[in-house]
Amino acid sequence: MLKERIREEARRIHEEAVQTRRHLHAHPELSFTEENTAAFVAAKLDAIGLPYERMANTGLVALLQGKKGMSDKVVALRADMDALPIHELNEVPYKSQTPGVMHACGHDGHTASLLGTAAILKSMEQEFAGTIKFIFQPGEECTPGGASIMIREGVLQNPAPQCILGQHVMPELEAGKIGFRAGRYMASADEIYITVHGKGGHGAMPHTTIDPVLITSHMIVALQQIVSRNANPTTPSVLSFGKVTANGAHNVIPDKVTIDGTFRTMDEAWRFEAHRRIEAMAKSIVESMGGTCEVKIIVGYPVLINEEKLTAATRQLTEEYLGKENVVDLPIWMAAEDFASYSQLTDACFYRLGVRNEARGITSGLHTATFDLDESSLETGAGLMAWLALKSL
């Protein structure tokens, strides 16, 4: 049976996948600087016997053509490769050797898993027809995102896939389990930068100043009304400011205040209407209190949409491969992911791979200094993606 054959191959490549993941974990590279990572992946693809090309400077795209007859069907599989500016606190043999940089989001696992999938499928090339496109993408953690660059350079062309699959580790989910959500799954994410200009002076003489700290305080509170009173209550929306910089002193009112924030939602039309409202409200409040302001909104990743029929079919296939008891429903998540760029252009399914192991203390969340993953998930991830690819073809 095909399922048993893939499981056998997944067991065969598991130890190499673990070593691949540990090498990548020990040698992390930040977004768009993944030169050594790309070279390592290229060497692995050479060893597997897959032709590839470079894209987006540090990205790679490999193709595998099945040899069992002719078919114009194409399935794309995607992994990201970049790390985060976090100093690792785990004491493990494969701990990051680059101070201040760490694979805290599991992209090392994504890459190792997809290389495992490639090895499995290459060993079975005589048994299927159609084409599988392997996308090793840089820069997921940094706007504008490697996905948008690879798309611009033609990653979804020559040949064009009918669908694209992606998986992401999930430390809240036990290893061996997979999570799905059809439709809108992850939020758009835009960066907001506002500078409020006033007139500084002595804290004991506020009447001689135009206090940008006070103005900014009013503005931050008022801007929350955009979500509470302008957004449709059925549309998830988040407006958060995480950085406020005044650079005055206990008795010094500064000349300006800068604030950095993020706006996230699940509706593309409302997203850009909210941008307009944020800028208009910020400027009107600041000007009404005697100051001036500049608003800069950097458009980030769009809403991630899991195409309904593809996701339902992928979920059913996953239940066949792993058992229905190992497949769970996911809630919407207001985090963002640049896989969304693919989902805006072709049928896409982005699912979650469980990596939690409480018995071994592997429970830390994504983007934390103690994140790790149960490496048994690499066998699950590589085998499942191979199964999904072949069944999709």
Q: Which residues are catalytic?
A: 82, 140
What is the C-alpha separation between 25 and 18, in angstroms, rounded?
10
Q: How far is CA 63 from CA 9, 76, 113, 130, 227, in A?
A: 19, 9, 16, 10, 45
Using CA atoms, how far apart are residues 248 and 237, in angstroms rounded to an integer? 33
Contacting residues for 380 by C-beta, under 8 A, at least 6 apart? 10, 175, 176, 178, 322, 353, 354
Q: How far apart are CA 178 and CA 186, in angstroms?
A: 17
Cα–Cα distance for residue pair 315/35, rounded to 1 Å: 35
Per-position DSSP letters for 95-123, written without gaps between them: --SSTT-B--SSHHHHHHHHHHHHHHHHH
68: which residues sit within 8 A by CB, 6+ positions away?
126, 127, 128, 129
Alpha carbon of 43 to those of 49, 83, 289: distances in Å? Answer: 10, 20, 61
Are 345 and 166 a contacting pair, CB within 8 Å? Answer: no
Burial 105-122 (b: 16+ CB within 10 A, else e): bbbbbbbbbbbbbbbbbb
Instruction: In whole angstroms, give the CA distance from residue 203 to residue 147.
Output: 49
What's the token pair of residue 1? 């049976």
Supply φ then ψ for residue 381, to 5 degrees: -65, -45
